[in-house]
C-alpha cells in the first residue's frame, strides 16, 4: 500500500508592522482622491467666430380669426388701413364702407436668421400686438415679409399663433394670466434669401471673446499655438484674437474651427462685486479680496406708538368724556452690535462668513461693501445694476 501524501504546512505570512499597514491604507485612500480641479473652459464657450452670427428680421402683418378680441377699428386707424389695403389686393373694394369687425389685429413679427441658413428652411417667429387687441388666441398670421437691416426680404411668415397666456372677463370680474397679446409660431417663417458669407475662402479668422480680458486672450492664443505647433494665433486686444489659417487647413475651415473650439483654457476675470439695490442681490467674484479693516454696523431705530385713552368724568359731575392722547417713543441705537475685524487677504468664503457674523441683512451689506470700497480696503470693482 502506498501511503497517502502528506500536505506541507502553509508558509507563515510575514508579519507587517503597524506603521507599514497604516501607510498602505493611506496610500490606497490617496489613490482614490480626485486630483486638483481647475476651472477649465472650452474656447467654444469663451469666444465666437467673427462673422458667424444671426441677423434680426422684422415685419408688419395682420392676425385674423380672433373671437372678438382684436383691434377696435375706430380707435386704431392703421389696422383699418391695413385691412382695406389687403382686401383691395384681393379684389375687394371697401373704400367708404363702415367696418366694425374686431376679429383681426395689427402685429409686429420678429425673427432671428441663423448663420448659414439656406433657402427653404424654416425658423420660428414671434408675434406681438400693436393696437388695443385683448388676445391673439386662435388667430392666424397672414403672409408677412420679414425684412433685414438692408431693407431686403429674407423670409416670409405665416401660420397659427400659439400664446402662453389667456384672458377672461365677465360683467364684474376679469382674470389675465401671462401675456395673451404676444405669441409665437413654431417654424412659421420660410427663408427666401441667404446671407452671403463664404467661410472657406477666408485667409484668417478672428475670435471675439464674450468677456474681454487681457489674460484670457493671451491664454487662448497660447493654447492655439501649442496645438498648431507654430505662432498662428496672436491676441490683438482683450476681446480679439487673430488666427492665421495654416496651409493644411485651407479649404477645410470646419475642421480647423472644430479643433480650436475644443481646446480648454482657464479663463481669468476682474475681481468684481455686482450689487442690485432694488432687489438687494449681491454677487461676488471668486477673486474678491479685502485688506485689514474693522467693521461696525448699527442702526438708529425710532419707534413711535399711539395708544389714545378715554377719560370719563366722575359720577354726578358736569364733566365730558374726552379722548386723551398717549404716545410712546422707543429708541434703539443698536448698542449690542460689536466691532468686527476682517483680516487682510481673506477669501470670498471668509469674507461672507465674517459679514454674516455681524448679523446684517442684504441692504446693510450693500452699504458696508460700499464703505469698505471707499476706505480703499476692497480690492474689487463695485458695479451697480
The tens place of each residue's pLDDT in the chain, 385 residues long, gives 445 544 444 444 444 444 444 344 434 433 444 444 457 889 999 998 888 888 999 999 999 999 888 999 888 889 888 888 888 888 888 777 778 888 999 999 999 999 888 899 999 999 999 999 989 999 999 999 999 999 999 999 999 999 887 777 776 677 777 788 999 999 999 999 988 777 777 778 889 999 899 999 999 999 999 988 778 889 999 999 998 888 888 878 888 888 999 999 998 888 888 888 777 777 877 777 777 767 666 654 445 565 677 777 777 667 777 777 766 656 455 555 555 555 555 665 676 676 666 666 677 777 777 887 887 777 788 887 7
Q: Identify the pLDDT of residue 358.
A: 63
Q: Identify the pLDDT of residue 269.
A: 82
CA–CA distances in Å: residue 360 to residues 9, 281, 334: 75, 14, 12
Q: Identify the pLDDT of residue 263.
A: 92
Q: Identify the pLDDT of residue 156.
A: 96
d(CA 85, CA 70): 18
Q: SS3 of 67, please? A: coil
Show me where the domains of the chain are located.
Answer: 55-191, 204-265, 273-306+326-384
| pTM (whole model) above 0.85 | no
Q: Residue 70, Cβ neighbours under 10 Å: how many?
A: 27
**In the structure grid, which three cell numbers stand for residue 105, read together?**
389685429
d(CA 195, CA 204): 20
d(CA 115, CA 49): 11
Closest alpha carbon to 209 in 200, 222, 220: 220
Q: Identify the pLDDT of residue 342.
A: 53
Q: Residue 71, Cβ neighbours under 10 Å: how many?
A: 29
**In the structure grid, which three cell numbers stand for residue 252, read together?**
477645410
Amino acid at each position: 500500500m502506498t501511503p497517502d501524501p502528506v500536505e506541507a504546512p502553509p508558509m507563515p505570512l510575514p508579519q507587517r508592522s503597524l506603521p507599514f499597514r497604516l501607510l498602505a491604507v493611506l496610500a490606497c485612500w490617496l489613490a482614490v482622491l480626485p486630483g486638483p480641479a481647475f476651472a477649465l473652459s472650452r474656447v467654444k464657450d469663451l469666444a465666437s467666430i467673427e462673422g458667424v452670427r444671426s441677423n434680426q428680421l422684422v415685419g408688419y402683418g395682420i392676425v385674423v380669426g380672433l373671437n372678438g378680441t382684436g383691434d377696435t377699428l375706430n380707435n386704431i386707424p392703421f389696422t383699418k388701413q391695413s385691412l382695406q389695403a389687403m382686401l383691395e389686393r384681393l379684389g375687394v373694394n371697401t373704400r367708404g364702407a363702415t367696418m366694425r369687425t374686431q376679429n383681426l389685429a395689427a402685429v409686429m413679427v420678429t425673427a432671428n436668421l441663423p448663420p448659414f441658413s439656406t433657402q427653404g428652411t424654416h425658423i420660428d417667429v414671434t408675434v406681438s400686438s400693436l393696437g388695443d387687441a385683448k388676445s391673439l388666441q386662435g388667430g392666424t398670421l397672414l403672409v408677412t415679409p420679414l425684412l433685414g437691416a438692408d431693407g431686403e426680404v429674407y423670409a416670409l411668415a405665416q401660420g397659427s399663433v400659439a400664446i402662453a397666456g389667456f384672458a377672461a372677463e365677465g360683467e364684474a370680474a376679469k382674470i389675465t394670466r401671462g401675456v395673451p397679446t404676444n405669441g409665437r409660431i413654431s417654424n412659421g417663417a420660410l427663408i427666401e434669401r441667404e446671407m452671403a458669407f463664404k467661410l472657406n475662402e477666408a485667409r484668417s479668422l478672428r475670435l471675439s471673446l464674450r468677456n474681454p480680458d487681457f489674460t484670457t486672450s493671451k491664454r487662448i492664443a497660447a493654447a492655439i499655438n501649442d496645438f498648431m505647433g507654430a505662432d498662428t494665433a496672436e491676441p490683438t486686444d482683450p476681446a480679439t484674437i487673430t488666427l492665421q489659417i495654416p496651409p493644411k487647413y485651407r479649404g477645410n475651415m470646419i475642421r480647423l474651427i472644430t479643433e480650436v473650439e475644443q481646446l480648454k483654457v482657464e479663463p481669468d476675470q476682474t475681481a468684481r462685486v455686482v450689487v442690485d439695490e432694488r432687489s438687494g442681490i449681491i454677487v461676488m467674484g471668486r477673486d474678491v479680496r479685502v485688506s485689514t479693516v474693522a467693521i461696525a454696523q448699527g442702526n438708529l431705530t425710532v419707534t413711535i406708538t399711539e395708544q389714545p385713552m378715554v377719560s370719563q368724568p366722575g359720577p354726578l359731575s358736569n364733566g365730558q368724556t374726552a379722548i386723551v392722547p398717549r404716545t410712546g417713543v422707543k429708541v434703539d441705537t443698536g448698542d449690542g452690535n460689536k466691532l468686527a475685524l476682517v483680516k487682510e487677504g481673506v477669501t470670498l468664503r471668509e469674507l461672507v462668513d465674517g459679514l454674516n457674523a455681524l448679523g446684517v441683512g442684504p441692504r446693510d451689506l450693500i452699504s458696508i461693501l460700499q464703505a469698505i470700497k471707499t476706505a480703499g480696503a476692497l480690492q474689487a470693482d463695485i458695479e451697480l445694476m
